[in-house]
Amino acid sequence: MGESAFDRRTAVKSLVGFAVAAALLYTFGYVLGWQSIISALSSADPVPVVVACGCSLVALSIWTKGWDVVLSSLSVEIPYRRLVPTYLAATFADYVTPFGKAGGGPFVAAVLSTDRDATYEESLASVVTTDALNLLPFFSFAGVGVVALGLTGSVPRNVRPLVYGLGAIAVFVPVFAYLVWRVRDRAILLIPRVLEPVAARVGFVEAAEIEERTARFFSLLGHLGARRAWVAETLLFAYVGWAFFALPLWLAARAVGVSLPIQLVAFIVPASAMASLLPTPGGLGGVEAAVTGLLVALAGVPTATAAAIALLYRVASFWFVLPVGGGATLWIAYRS
């Protein structure tokens, strides 16, 4: 009963989030002029858009391989062909729920532990570790993009605080994460205190289990950290995956006859991803506005054309992935 209620609440939050996103997207197009945007879209070449959709799938498949490496380092052997639909389903969970990144990891951990391929803690530790390593290219690309834009002098004065502020975040977040890891012994004591009231309220996890699970989780992360041979391989997949993840923006621009500098793409993709923190599924509305604004400010792209590029980019990186991930989720539910 409790699980069903949770499912209903999640579904309601997703529906509300999509409704808010629809309103934001309509307002986005209304302010910029839907007629001009549609005119730019109608002249787009579909071939780069199709290739961009393929690049999104390639990126997810490569990140899955990185996750496979992390699982293997924990002595958890699961065929790669089974991990791909699980990772796609987790991406679907990320995309359809507001602040979805909080749900994808626990979803994957629950699936693998239900199938008895790994314990919940092993699964969650592998997902968190993979996500953390996948963030390194995110910040690296943003930092390199900021440096490249600064050296070329192509940052307009009115947007320099935004660009350099995002560059500072790209440096600060990894440092902060490292400092948190350094005080992980305190985190093991603090996390149960924070979660115990929540656990008592929702009834999904016994409060007595939280400290044990937390300690085991950090122990597994420590075990991973002690075996560093896998890190370089996982990072390789992370960086190649991010390259394919960023490529759809360049292809979307090509579809409407715009050639974007690589350093600009390297900055805009992670910078616009910050807008996914907007409480709508996949950051709908926010990412499109961020991409449009950055293209106009940094590349001088006409507003309607920039909006068309943003929408095509999201077709490849979000809307195309939704049905693919949804199909993977249904398959996993059927298999389970």
- Side chain identity at 100, as an amino acid letter? G
> Which DSSP state fits 277?
G
Task: Specify the pTM.
Answer: 0.76
Across the chain, which has 336 residues, the per-10-residue mean pLDDT values are 48 67 72 81 92 96 91 82 88 74 62 67 75 78 72 64 68 69 66 61 50 60 61 87 94 94 87 74 83 88 93 93 89 77
* Residue of 301, 300, 265 lying closest to 154 (CA atoms): 300
The predicted-structure confidence for 202-230, as pLDDT tens digits, reads as follows: 444 455 555 555 665 566 556 555 556 67
What pLDDT does 224 receive? 56
Record the tokens describing residue 156, joined without a space: 């307009």
Neighbours of 22 (CB within 10 A): 13
SS3 for 184?
A: helix
Neighbours of 266 (CB within 10 A): 26
> Which DSSP state fits 227?
-
- Side chain identity at 243, as an amino acid letter? A
Record the tokens describing residue 234, joined without a space: 């996982």
* Phi, psi (deg, nearest 5) at residue 280: -130, 155
Cβ atoms of 316 and 251 closer than 8 Å: yes
What is the C-alpha separation between 182 and 98, in angstroms, rounded?
Answer: 30
Give 186-208 as a 3 state SS string.
HHHHHHHHHHHHHHHHHCCCCHH
Please give the full DSSP string across 5-61, using - where no structure is assigned: HHHHHHHHHHHHHHHHHHHHHHHHHHHH-HHHHHHHHHT--HHHHHHHHHHHHHHHH
Please give the full DSSP string across 90-117, using - where no structure is assigned: HHHHHHHSTTTHHHHHHHHHHHHHHTTS
Record the tokens describing residue 254, joined without a space: 């090509």
Contacts with 86 (C-beta within 8 Å, 6 or more apart), sequence order: 108, 111, 112, 328, 332
Neighbours of 217 (CB within 10 A): 21
What is the C-alpha separation between 168 and 185, in angstroms, rounded?
Answer: 28
**Burial of 47 (C-beta count, 10 Å sphere; 0-12/13-18/19+):** exposed
